[in-house]
Amino acid sequence: MSLSARDQQVIWHPYTQMKTAAPPIPIVRGEGALLFTETGEAYIDAVSSWWVTLHGHAHPYIAQKVAEQLQTLEHVIFAGFTHPAAVELAERLIQVLPEGQRRIFYSDNGSTAVEVALKMALQFWHIQGIPKTQIIAFRDSYHGDTFGAMSVSARSTFTAPFQQFLFDVDFIDVPVPGHEEQTFAQLEELLQQNDKAAFIYEPLVLGTAGMVMYTPAILDRLVALCQHHQVLTIADEVMTGFGRTGQTFASHYLSHKPDMVCLSKGLTGGTMALGVTSCTERLYEAFLHEDKSKTFFHGHSYTANPVACAAGLASLDLLLQEHTQTNIARISAQHAAFAQQIKELAHIKEVRQQGTILAIEFEVGTTSYFSNLRDTLYNYALSQGLILRPLGNIIYCLPPYCITNEQLSHVYKAMEGMRLLLAKNK
């Protein structure tokens, strides 16, 4: 029996209608930007397997460091104990994170990193007896699938079954070009009330909204306004972190730095699950008290897992190498050149690019995530030996930094093929 057939007997896949979905493609090996099936077919992983694989698949350096850690210490409870990999990773993250981040709290994925930040923000004000309980977020944002993360994300079909269980959030529009002042005015009005605890945002790029982009200048103004009104700011850099936007973190484009930063995805180079919530010393010190009830009560069994931390250290080593930084600049330049080439062509509504993130929005009648168009584009990409995961009428490329120029050209050619396919079927 094939691996795919065995899978269908026992597995329930994420974001998949199991009744109608095609059988899963069995991947047995990865190398660089490529994934290989059990029958030897190769696919270019142009979405970094949900944005996590920074340096390519089965990277030998990360594998070596993980293997070394496994032979030394696989896990230890992180309440009352510590270990070298966790301390070193925290020290090194603080060196590269936006200015002002001083403390690292470990969790195990992006959603929980966001949950931690929200709980920190709400408890920060609770400890001081200040009634600030409302969170502000962008209307079309996505911050994860746990309940707190869903609450601060866009309300949609994905969250509809849980609507009554989500807490109320004050949403403002995304400040896309031409609408910056409208968003600023919305935030300014909300901040006249004194119940706002925090503003959480995806800096510069809203991922699942369709790689929607806005400028550092307006985000800087929004963050500054929040800080003026004593509202905490949370940068959700789960997707944008570790070079995706061209700088190590999207927050590096800003003059005003966040109070908290959420990290996951590329944190371990795609090797295994690990989450981080960093914060300022001011926020951390608010929890220091003789009264033990003011402790931050949050934790996970696999908090600061030594093997995951070792992978994080290895990934950070690779990220900071000159070779990787050169690759980030190369991919960014290639994306920018292709964006200029295709943006004026027929059936292209908009082309968006920020660093290594490229998104093309096609001009079509139906744009729903559930439309047949999404499946048409997805299957076309597979037929071209590519893994691209459309968001409705939007196709994007967010590749591993090791992707070659030849492989990028193949991605661009497929995107152009999609445009021609739409023109033919219109």
Domain membership of residue 407 as a residue range: 3-58+322-425
Instruction: Kindly give the pairing relationship between strand 275-279 and strand 260-263.
Output: antiparallel
The DSSP letter of residue 204 is: S
- Bridge partners for 27 per DSSP: 37
Residue 120 sits in a domain whose CATH number is 3.40.640.10
pLDDT category, 299, cuts 50, 70, 90? very high
Question: What's the rounded Cα separation, in Å, for the pair 73 and 305?
Answer: 9
Question: Taking 70 as the threshold, does the pLDDT of residue 366 lie above it?
Answer: no
- Bridge partners for 236 per DSSP: 262
The verdict on 402 and 343 lying in the same domain is yes
Q: Which of 76-80, 179-183, 346-350, 355-359 has the lowest mean pLDDT?
A: 346-350
Mean pLDDT for 298-314 is 97
Does residue 282 sit in helix, strand or coil?
helix
**Which of 295, 319, 343 is the last residue before a domain boundary?**
319
Query: Quick one: pLDDT at residue 364?
Result: 83
The verdict on 38 and 77 lying in the same domain is no
- The structure tokens listed for 245 are 């936007």
The verdict on 132 and 225 lying in the same domain is yes
Instruction: Kindly give the pairing relationship between strand 348-354 and strand 134-138.
Output: unpaired
The verdict on 312 and 348 lying in the same domain is no
Question: Taking 80 as the threshold, does the pLDDT of residue 259 lie above it?
Answer: yes
Q: Which of 144, 65, 81, 141 is nearest to 109 (CA)?
A: 144
Question: What's the rounded Cα separation, in Å, for the pair 259 and 283?
Answer: 8
Does residue 305 sit in helix, strand or coil?
coil
Task: Give the percent of the chain with pLDDT over 70.
Answer: 99
Positions marked catalytic: 15, 142, 236, 265
From the CB of residue 284, how many other CB atoms can be counted at a distance below 10 Å? Answer: 17
Digit-coded pLDDT (tens) for 90-143 = 999 999 999 999 999 999 999 999 999 999 999 999 999 999 999 999 999 999
Task: Give the percent of the chain with pLDDT over 90.
Answer: 93
The verdict on 311 and 362 lying in the same domain is no
Element (H, E) at 85: helix 84-96
Query: Quick one: pLDDT at residue 92?
Result: 98
Question: What phi, psi does 236 have (nearest 5°)?
Answer: -85, 95
**Which of 296, 319, 342 is the last residue before a domain boundary?**
319
Question: What's the rounded Cα separation, in Å, for the pair 48 and 62?
Answer: 16
Query: Quick one: pLDDT at residue 62?
Result: 98
The verdict on 223 and 272 lying in the same domain is yes
Q: What is the pTM of this model?
A: 0.97
Query: Quick one: pLDDT at residue 374?
Result: 87
**Which of 262, 288, 319 is the last residue before a domain boundary?**
319
The verdict on 241 and 387 lying in the same domain is no
The verdict on 201 and 311 lying in the same domain is yes
Residue 361 sits in a domain whose CATH number is 3.90.1150.10
The DSSP letter of residue 259 is: S
Question: What's the rounded Cα separation, in Å, for the pair 139 and 148?
Answer: 15
Query: Contact at 8 Å (CB) between 183 and 222?
Result: yes
The DSSP letter of residue 74 is: S
The verdict on 213 and 259 lying in the same domain is yes
Query: Quick one: pLDDT at residue 246?
Result: 98
The verdict on 201 and 304 lying in the same domain is yes
Element (H, E) at 115: helix 110-127
Residues counted in the chain: 426
Query: Quick one: pLDDT at residue 367?
Result: 62
Domains held by the chain: number: 2
Mean pLDDT for 273-283 is 98
The verdict on 313 and 174 lying in the same domain is yes
The verdict on 174 and 34 lying in the same domain is no
Q: Give residue for tokens 């969250």.
A: 159
Query: Contact at 8 Å (CB) between 296 and 287?
Result: yes
Query: Contact at 8 Å (CB) between 109 and 275?
Result: yes
Mean pLDDT rounded to a whole number for the chain: 96
